[in-house]
Amino acid sequence: MKTIRISEAKNFVGETVQLKGWVYNHRSSGKVRFIELRDGSTETIQCVVFNGTCDEASFNLSAEITQESAMIITGLVKAHPKKEGVYELDVHKLELIQKAEANYPISHKEHGPEFLMQNRHLWLRTPRQVAIARTRASIIKSIRDFFDSRDFVLMDAPILTPSACEGTSTLFETEYFEEKAYLSQSGQLYGEVGAMAFGRTYVFGPTFRAEKSKTRKHLTEFWMVEPEIAYWSLEENMTLGEEFVVQIMKDVLSRNKKELTILQRDIPTLEKIAEGGFPRVHYNDCVEMLNKNGHTFKWGDDFGAPEETKIGNLFGDKPVWIHHFPKDIKSFYFKKDAEDPRYALGCDLIAPHGWGEIIGGGIREENYETLKNAIVEHKLNLEDYQWYLDLRAYGSVPHGGFGLGLERAVSWVCGLEHIRETIAFPRMLNYLRP
């Protein structure tokens, strides 16, 4: 007997097959019983248990099953009489592998987010979570394909680090034998090593920030992909970032329509984003736009969630690049604009409708003395950055890159209300378990 995945049912119409899965839902109507089986495919399948087409033992068994019971079901694959693209199984035989206890916590009624988060290990079984997980995996593939096909060498940055990359206020500290270490906030500084070694590189791994506020956009543990390129300009950086986001959108649209449909994502909006043409706006122009549109915003401040949402929305559905930030709101490593050193050569990509900053990046200071002074000014321990300064002593070139937050991207692509659904086990201020 051939075992198939539910997603393959369309190729087996008229054939008798075996499905191995779990009972997602069940009901009976007169002499017919219906089992909605899930097996991790994006779709579930309705299995029709009718006393006449299935054996008697199986029919009796179908009266006893509980939600999440593990079952192997044998039957004939049929196309749904009315719904196109939907398939059913006419059951011949049911085999119960384990009868789930009757008190499965996640029933088919509405549950609040806190309850679902406590049961995250079970919540992941529901079709919506399967659709998100599959889209996330697809985006990861897209990320790797994009850089691998452009001759970027993948390099893994360390997680345990002796120093900060993105300011000291969000560092997670841990003991490292006789000294202190910090969980990496970003692989960038090591990515710069890679850029000087390989010309172009990307770092992709988990990063950590002790974010003390609960928001819909902040995790304490998130995955970031960070390309870093030697001989590079701010304009090239924005062009690469745009091509990158466009490729992710195209791949998801070609591979994940089923998932996007389950998530009720507005597909034409994603198609528009996949056309590219993201606006590029100077920080000063953003400040002016905000003040013209009912926000009182002071030059020199950083954009918070309300400003990001406002700016994002002023440009419709496409994300927008903001570039040339005041240097004082940016990290120590940013190169300053040669024409006006009040500005750092940074660029952030902001998604509309509140999904916020998807990409943060820019050009790095390449001059030894200037960078050394910036480290001292930011009150960082010079000794910890000596290896980083070496990159400026030996063959220093203009270089830069960016970091894309994977969960931010998943949240935006899937159209989610909250970032907690984008990763299997989200870590936030109030979430450490399961």
Residue from 69, 163, 186, 256 touching ligand 4AD (CB under 6 A): that is 186
Please give the residues from 329 up to 358 whose contact with ligand 4AD meets the rule CB under 6 A: 357-358
Binding to ligand 4AD by residue 226, rule CB under 6 A? yes
Count of residues in contact with ligand 4AD, rule CB under 6 A: 22
Binding to Mg ion by residue 241, rule CB under 5 A? no
Binding to ligand 4AD by residue 211, rule CB under 6 A? yes
User: Residue 402's CB: how many other CB atoms inside 10 A?
Assistant: 25
Q: How far apart are CA 167 and CA 153, in angstroms?
A: 27
Q: In degrees to the nearest 10, what's the CA dihedral of 251, 130, 262, 260? A: -10
Residue from 260, 360, 385, 413 touching ligand 4AD (CB under 6 A): that is 360
Q: Using alpha carbons, select from 72, 63, 60, 67 the residue that is nearest to residue 100.
A: 67
Q: Using alpha carbons, select from 381, 360, 42 the residue that is nearest to residue 222.
A: 360
Q: Which does 38 bind (CB under 5 to 8 A by kind): ligand 4AD, Mg ion, none?
A: none
Q: Which does 211 bind (CB under 5 to 8 A by kind): Mg ion, ligand 4AD, none?
A: ligand 4AD
Closest contact distance (angstroms) between CB of 121 and ligand 4AD is 22
Closest contact distance (angstroms) between CB of 119 and Mg ion is 33
Q: Which does 221 bind (CB under 5 to 8 A by kind): ligand 4AD, Mg ion, none?
A: none
Q: Using alpha carbons, select from 19, 152, 163 the residue that is nearest to residue 77.
A: 19
Question: Quick check: helix, strand or coil at residue 330?
Answer: coil
Please give the residues from 297 up to 326 whose contact with ligand 4AD meets the rule CB under 6 A: none
Using the structure block, give the residue that is written with the tokens 């935006």.
412
Closest contact distance (angstroms) between CB of 3 and ligand 4AD is 39
- Which of 162, 167 has the CB closer to Mg ion? 167
- Which of 251, 357 has the CB closer to ligand 4AD? 357
Q: Which two tokens stand for residue 343?
A: 């500005």
152 to 181: interface string for ligand 4AD, x by CB under 6 A: -------------xx---------------
- Long-range contacts at 370-378 (CB < 8 A, ≥ 24 apart): 370/336, 371/332, 371/333, 374/332, 374/333, 375/332, 377/332, 378/331, 378/332
**Residue number closest to Mg ion, CB atom:** 360
Q: How far apart are CA 163 and CA 159, in angstroms?
A: 11
Question: Quick check: helix, strand or coil at residue 370?
Answer: helix
Residue from 200, 209, 265, 327 touching ligand 4AD (CB under 6 A): that is 209
- Which of 37, 219 has the CB closer to ligand 4AD? 219
Q: Could you tell me the sign of the dihedral formed by the alpha carbons of 432, 412, 213, 172, in that order?
A: positive
Segment near ligand 4AD (CB under 6 A); pick from 100-108, 130-138, 216-224, 288-296: 216-224
Q: How far apart are CA 312 and CA 321, in angstroms?
A: 9
Please give the residues from 391 up to 430 whose contact with ligand 4AD meets the rule CB under 6 A: 401-403, 405, 407-408
Contact by Cβ (8 Å): 94, 85? no
Q: How far apart are CA 274 and CA 116, in angstroms?
A: 33
Question: Quick check: helix, strand or coil at residue 324?
Answer: strand
Binding to Mg ion by residue 401, rule CB under 5 A? no
Closest contact distance (angstroms) between CB of 361 and Mg ion is 8
Decide the pairing of beta strands 179-183 and 320-326: unpaired
- Which of 42, 188 has the CB closer to ligand 4AD? 188
- Which of 127, 167 has the CB closer to ligand 4AD? 167
Rg (CA), the chain: 26
User: Residue 37's CB: how many other CB atoms inside 10 A?
Assistant: 23
- Which of 35, 195 has the CB closer to ligand 4AD? 195
Q: What separation in angstroms does the CA of 301 have from each of 28, 166, 283, 294, 304?
A: 62, 17, 10, 16, 9
- Which of 224, 287 has the CB closer to ligand 4AD? 224
Contact by Cβ (8 Å): 190, 140? no
Binding to ligand 4AD by residue 230, rule CB under 6 A? no
337 to 366: interface string for Mg ion, x by CB under 5 A: -----------------------x------
Specify which residues 16 forms β-bridges with.
76
- Which of 31, 214 has the CB closer to ligand 4AD? 214
Binding to ligand 4AD by residue 224, rule CB under 6 A? yes
Q: How far apart are CA 184 and CA 136, in angstroms?
A: 22
Question: Footprint of Mg ion on this chain (CB under 5 A)?
Answer: 360
Enumerate binding residues for ligand 4AD (CB under 6 A). Answer: 165-166, 186, 188, 209, 211, 218-219, 222, 224, 226, 357-361, 401-403, 405, 407-408
